[in-house]
Amino acid sequence: MRGSESSPVDDLSTRERVAESILANGPSTASDLAHRLGLTPAAVRRHLEHLVDQGHVEAREARVRGQRRRGRPARVFALTDAGRDRFEHSYDDLAAEALRFLRDTGGDEAVMAFARRRLSAFRARYERLLADVPPDRRASVLAQALTDDGFAASVSSTPAGEQICQHHCPVAHVAEEFPQLCEAETEIFAELLDTHVQRLATIALGDGVCTTHLPHAATVTQTKKKTIAVSHHEGESS
């Protein structure tokens, strides 16, 4: 009922309706939202102020088509990336459905080929970033590039090597069903850093972060020597 007092629960529910209306209809004025939701403009503005303070909505000048009228331009309210993240992403379902079709028609190899193709643009850009970077700084530069692309990555050192931790994965829900997405990323890390890497944890499998281990060069060399020695011994025995 218009003009009546509301509880915090009612406020939260109405705020969700305001955000959902913007999601469904695009950037909207307070008057548009009030008309759609059956609220007073004053009530809508109160909820918009709260959403703006939370960083879920931002105010913009309305785009003007044709000749601009006199007076103050209207303000529209649009969802920010953080605001969109509050809603379920239907494109995850669409991506998973498309990959299921690809797997059913072309097999797991086709899914892997797609995963590698998807990351090709990232790989080309990261290669340029790492071109003149000394080996001991490549992991840090790669982590910063991943962070810039929304993966919230960091690097830590261990006695056995370094670890790149990605605290966010935009495709985690799809990768739960299609681990090829993670496998392709791991391959590219190995190629970019020119070293053996090992994926220790993934968000897609329920871990808190995606963790990739980069062993020290000495460790890699020792492992290769052991592998060669075992192969040579098996060859003599046969």
DSSP bridge partners of 211: 165, 201
pLDDT > 90: what percent of the chain?
53
Shared domain for 70 and 103, answered yes or no, is: no
Residue 173 exposed, middle or buried by CB count within 10 Å (0-12, 13-18, 19+) = middle
Query: Quick check: is 232 in a domain?
Result: no
Number of domains in the chain: 2
Instruction: Give the tokens for residue 74.
Output: 């209207």
Average pLDDT over residues 130-134: 94
One domain, residues 80 and 175? no
Answer whether residue 126 is part of any domain. Answer: yes
Among 114-118, 166-170, 186-190, where is mean pLDDT lowest? 166-170
Q: Are residues 65 and 183 in the same domain?
A: no
Is 238 a domain residue? no
pLDDT at 88: 56
Residue 80 has a pLDDT of: 85
- Cα 83 to Cα 77: distance, rounded to the nearest angstrom: 12
DSSP the chain: -TTS---HHHHHHHHHHHHHHHHHH-SB-HHHHHHHHT--HHHHHHHHHHHHHHTSEEEEEPP--SSPPSSPPPEEEEE-HHHHHTS--HHHHHHHHHHHHHHHHH-HHHHHHHHHHHTHHHHHHHHHHHTT--GGGHHHHHHHHHHHTT--EEEEEETTEEEEEES--TTHHHHTT-THHHHHHHHHHHHHHTS--EEEE-GGGT-SSEEEEEE-HHHHHHHHHHHHHHHHHHHHH-
* Predicted local confidence at residue 116, as pLDDT: 95
Read off the pLDDT of residues 6-42 as tens digits, 9 standing for 90 and up. Answer: 555 566 678 888 988 887 777 889 999 999 999 999 9
Q: What's the mean pLDDT when you consider all of the chain?
A: 82
In this predicted structure, what is the pLDDT of residue 37? 92
| Per-residue pLDDT, 229 | 44
- The pTM (predicted TM-score) of the whole model is 0.58
pLDDT at 235: 55
The model's pLDDT over 182-224, given as tens digits with 9 standing for 90+, comes to 999 999 999 999 999 999 999 888 888 899 999 986 544 444 4
| Mean local confidence (pLDDT), 94-119 | 95
Are 143 and 182 found together in one domain? yes
Q: Answer yes or no: do 81 and 120 share one domain.
A: no
Highest mean pLDDT among 59-63, 82-86, 188-192: 188-192
Burial 201-220 (b: 16+ CB within 10 A, else e): bbbbeeeebbbbbbbeeeee
179 pLDDT above the threshold of 90:
yes
Mean pLDDT of 167-184: 90
Say if residue 104 is in the same domain as residue 21: no
Do residues 131 and 67 share a domain?
Answer: no
Range of the domain at 57: 8-85
Q: Is the pLDDT of residue 107 over 70?
A: yes
- d(Cα 105, Cα 213) in Å, to the nearest integer? 34
